[in-house]
Amino acid sequence: MGWNPMPVRAACWALLGTLFAGAAVAAGPATTAPAADSFPMATGVRLGGDETQTRFVMDLDRRIDLRVFTLADPYRVVLDIPEVTFQLLPQAGESGRGLIKAFRFGLVMPGGSRMVFDLTKPVRVDKAFVVDPADDAPARLVLDLVATDRDSFMRQVALDQKAASTAPPPSQPQGQSSDPRPLIVLDPGHGGLDTGAKASSGELEKDIVLDVAKRLRARLEKSGKYRVLMTRTDDTFVALADRVEIARKAGAALFVSIHADSLPHKEGDAQGATVYTLSETASDPQAAQLAEEENRADVIAGVDLTNEPDDVAGILLDLAQRETKTYSMQFAHKLVAELKGAARLHKDPIKSAGFRVLRAPDVPSVLVELGYVSNKQDLQSLLSDTWRDHTAEAMGQAIDDYFSARIAGANSSAN
Ligand SMILES: [Zn+2]
């Protein structure tokens, strides 16, 4: 493939500060956000080249700014751009060419989109720029990659991290409230460019679980007994550590992460809802595999994990977690008892594994897999309005049971 010189304008690299100064939590409708159709629109993508040099081109209806950085293990190139409406084929990015194995795109925060390129080997970003629209040509985003060695790639990763660390830290999510009602944090899994499990008919886990979470929020708010916060309220990616931090900083009394599972065809069929709590050793190999799969969310969305402290190390934390673990288990049992009346349960409905999203040492946390999008009957349920309402009601009832038991327990121990 030829590398014809194109009219180039240097990309603006100053965008990072403004783009990433926003809050990590998507709370409520943004009143200043422009209508969806006023966002720049991406209308097509092309890949060219081979294993030594690869070019990615994306057509846009106008010029945008971009920032590019690299991540290692696995090798990735990440493009941060302003919020873009991606009018691309649903399968765009599922396969690649040359140095690009596959790529993903979507919202990572209100106002910010991201593209993550999985690489077949280490690369050097030769060029990354946007060509202005001409008379009969759209604007084009161009990313040129050239094969390099691991050492060179790792040096670039280090430089990219240094550049990123000078950006202002994200602002804090909302703080403690004077409202004495317990705060429930609902955590719809995935979002944005991380779609989660995908049904063969195209439905996405991220959409299903967001809808169920919203129904549960409505159920809880209607009772008047709780404050409710969601880690995301729209199709935005939220990093796993941020989900935990949102719950901790807001002083959550309970954290409920909502997912829907999928089993690869070759591994047979599985069905029903499962409730997971945290453990360092998984209850069975399937639970371990699922946790690994769910923990990949950050890798999928191009989150840099190198600076994240390992906040689960140490025996002190283990002691602090003991009470939390007991409460998490109590809630898991109540949830399974209530779900029994609304949803099909997995044959082994309470399990545990090392889910990153359950690692708040001070917030009782469970992760519920509502069912398998890979199972025909489960999928039918997951897509049914009635089933979602019943399931949200059952989860709400379990939360009621859990808190009335805790209040009763507190009263009897005070006597
Ligand atoms: Zn999931």
Supply the pLDDT for residue 250: 86
* 387 CA from centroid of ligand 1 (Å): 19
Residue 290 has pLDDT above 70, yes or no: yes
Nearest to 196 by CA among 113, 300, 282: 300
Q: Structure tokens of 152?
A: 């060179």
* 203 CA from centroid of ligand 1 (Å): 13
Supply the pLDDT for residue 302: 84
* 367 CA from centroid of ligand 1 (Å): 9
Nearest to 358 by CA among 185, 195, 219, 237: 185
Residue 295's Cβ-count burial label (10 Å; 0-12, 13-18, 19+) is middle
Q: How far apart, in whole angstroms, are the C-alpha atoms of residue 357 and residue 294?
A: 9
Residue 81 has pLDDT above 90, yes or no: yes
Residue 6 has pLDDT above 70, yes or no: no
Supply the pLDDT for residue 143: 97
* 259 CA from centroid of ligand 1 (Å): 4
* 409 CA from centroid of ligand 1 (Å): 33
Q: Look at 38 and 191; give whichever has higher pLDDT.
A: 191
pTM (two decimals)? 0.73
Residue type, 40: P
Total Cβ atoms within 10 A of residue 27: 15
Strands 123-131 and 139-147: antiparallel
Nearest to 229 by CA among 252, 205, 258: 252
Q: How far apart, in whole angstroms, are the C-alpha atoms of residue 399 and residue 387?
A: 18
* 54 CA from centroid of ligand 1 (Å): 32
* 307 CA from centroid of ligand 1 (Å): 24
Nearest to 250 by CA among 272, 234, 226, 216: 226
Provide the 3-class DSSP secondary structure of residue 4.
Answer: coil
* 261 CA from centroid of ligand 1 (Å): 6
* 370 CA from centroid of ligand 1 (Å): 10
Q: Name the pLDDT band for 357 (thresholds 50, 70, 90).
A: very high
- Give the pLDDT mean for 323-348: 93
Residue 34 has pLDDT above 60, yes or no: no
Supply the pLDDT for residue 298: 86
* 315 CA from centroid of ligand 1 (Å): 29
* 234 CA from centroid of ligand 1 (Å): 16
* 3 CA from centroid of ligand 1 (Å): 41
Omega within 30 of 0 (cis) for the link into 74: yes
* 398 CA from centroid of ligand 1 (Å): 21
For residue 370, which phi and psi values (nearest 5 degrees)? -70, -25
268: alpha, beta or left, given left = phi > 0 and alpha = psi -120 to 50?
left
* 129 CA from centroid of ligand 1 (Å): 34
74: alpha, beta or left, given left = phi > 0 and alpha = psi -120 to 50?
beta
373-414 per-position pLDDT tens digit: 999 999 999 999 999 999 999 999 999 999 998 777 776 654
Q: Look at 348 and 170; give whichever has higher pLDDT.
A: 348
- Give the pLDDT mean for 238-259: 92
Supply the pLDDT for residue 36: 52
* 156 CA from centroid of ligand 1 (Å): 32
* 197 CA from centroid of ligand 1 (Å): 6
- Give the pLDDT mean for 98-106: 95
Provide the 3-class DSSP secondary structure of residue 129.
Answer: strand
Q: How far apart, in whole angstroms, are the C-alpha atoms of residue 293 and residue 276?
A: 14
* Helix H or strand E encompassing 255: strand 254-261
Highest-confidence segment of 134-143, 205-214, 237-246: 205-214
Q: How far apart, in whole angstroms, are the C-alpha atoms of residue 10 and residue 350?
A: 54
- Percentage of the chain with pLDDT > 70? 83
Supply the pLDDT for residue 162: 74
Residue 282 has pLDDT above 50, yes or no: yes
